[in-house]
Structure 1
Amino acid sequence: MEVMEKNNEKLQRAKERLKELKGFYWHLAAYIGVNSFISISSIIGRMSNGANFLDVLDFGTFAVWIFWGIGLFFHGMKVFSYNPIFSKEWEKRQIQKFMEKDRQEAEKFGRNGR
């Protein structure tokens, strides 16, 4: 019975992971599709008003790519479990630091109580 519960739990985690992965790929597809449409429309619209090609390649044309791309980057980091700042090693170091501080506090109060 316990083995079936563990397998069911693993299946649920795998389904959740797949759901997150699909969500990221849909986000990526929307990012590429919508931003391509916006950029092409902007470039064609500006060029039809007499601007040359270099004039349409300004920050405004690609601002959505940049800012949405930052959000997409962080979404990808979450989905692919990449966190360089708060990694498992960082967590272990913090736990050791807190445990050492607690030990020192206990020793300090233990000596004063004698």
Structure 2
Amino acid sequence: MAEEDEKLLRAQKRVKELKKFYNHLAVYLIVMAILLFIDYSDGGNWWVHWPMIGWGIFVVIQGFSVSKFAKGWEEKKLKEIMEEEEKEN
């Protein structure tokens, strides 16, 4: 039963992380659309690429951290640490 509770907690944590990422991505896309409109309306000096790149880097990093690749690494590391602790006991 404790293992199931642990799995549930991990699943809840993952869902929470994914939800944060999707919210961050939605805000990013909305703000960038507004900034593109402002830039275009202002004569199109094309300054909008700077905030798009800067903020976009953080969105990509967060996306990578919640991706299946990162999840697989986390699970492998957890198993490795648990095995080391069992050997020590």
Equivalent pair of 1:27/1:72 in contact (CA under 8 Å): yes
Task: Tell me what 2:49 maps to.
Answer: 62
Q: Deviations over 1:41-66 (max 9, x none)?
A: 1211x23xxxxxxxx153x1221111
Q: Distance in 2 between matches of 1:78 and 1:22?
A: 13
Q: Distance in 1 between matches of 2:48 and 2:8?
A: 44
Task: Tell me what 2:67 maps to.
Answer: 80
Q: Distance in 1 between matches of 2:37 and 2:69?
A: 33
Report the AA paired with residue 9 of structure 1: E
Matched, 1:25 2:19: no
- TM-score for both structures, normalised by structure 1: 0.57
Q: Distance in 1 between matches of 2:2 and 2:45?
A: 57
CA RMSD between the two structures: 2.1
The alignment covers a number of residue pairs equal to 73
Q: Where do 5+ consecutive residues of structure 1 fail to align?
A: 48-55, 92-114
Task: Tell me what 1:5 maps to.
Answer: 2
Report the AA paired with residue 26 of structure 1: N
Q: Percent identity?
A: 33
Cα distance, 1:81 vs structure 2: 4.8
Moved over 3 A (4+): none
Q: Which has the larger radius of gyration?
A: 1
- TM-score for both structures, normalised by structure 2: 0.72
Q: Distance in 2 between matches of 1:71 and 1:15?
A: 23
Q: Distance in 1 between matches of 2:60 and 2:66?
A: 10
Q: Distance in 1 between matches of 2:13 and 2:48?
A: 37
Matched, 1:71 2:58: yes
